[in-house]
Amino acid sequence: MTPEIILLAFSAAAIAFVHTILGPDHYLPFVTMAKARQWSMSKTLRITLICGMGHLAGSVTPWLIFIIFILGPCEPLIPLLMFPAAQQSLFGVLIVTGVFGVVTVFTMTLAVTLAALGLKAVNLGRFERYNHAVAGSAVLVCGLSVAILGI
């Protein structure tokens, strides 16, 4: 593996981490739905992993890559990482893509775990009955943020 690919892989990891943390749509809906539906931590993480894998699977389908990179939140991946990796080798593209994907899903599960544990420590008392409305609102706000603001 060349020094350039190593640098691109580290860059992919950093971008994936920041991309996931700054995009609350990667974790907030899971946390709020888990709270509203009283999911166990294992169920919450299992659903997060499945959705994270779906996020990645959509990113590696050729036509979906085109649509996601034109309209989606992962645009920095192509010019900053993929083009230089493609100039090196196909192996380099696979390494950079793999690192980006693994770090994205890992960061999603880490953020969901920390937020869910923090939310469990909070006693909502009589506001507990509004969990479903809060979960639905969180999903709505995340969806609108992605659609309107492009985050």
Q: What's the rounded Cα separation, in Å, for the pair 149 and 132?
A: 25
Better pLDDT: 124 or 133: 133
The residue extents of the domains of the chain are: 3-149
What average pLDDT does the chain have?
81
Burial class of residue 128 in the structure, from the number of CB atoms within 10 Å of its CB (0-12 exposed, 13-18 middle, 19+ buried):
exposed
Going from the C-alpha of 102 to that of each of 7, 12, 35, 66, 129, the distances in angstroms are 16, 10, 26, 21, 36
Give the ranges where the chain is alpha helix by DSSP (H).
3-22, 28-37, 41-60, 62-71, 77, 83-88, 90-120, 131-144
Give the C-alpha separation, 27 to 110, whole Å. 9
Look at the block and give the residue holding tokens 């479903």: 132
Listed residue (60, 82, 89, 74) closest to 1, CA to CA: 89
Tell me phi and psi for residue 71, to 5 degrees: -110, -15
Instruction: Give the integer Cα–Cα distance in Å for 44 and 34.
Output: 6
Tens of pLDDT, residue by residue over 57-101, are 766 555 555 555 555 555 556 566 777 777 878 888 888 888 888
> In the structure, what pLDDT confidence band is assigned to residue 133 with cuts at 50, 70 and 90?
confident
Count the residues in the chain: 151
pLDDT average, residue stretch 40-61: 83
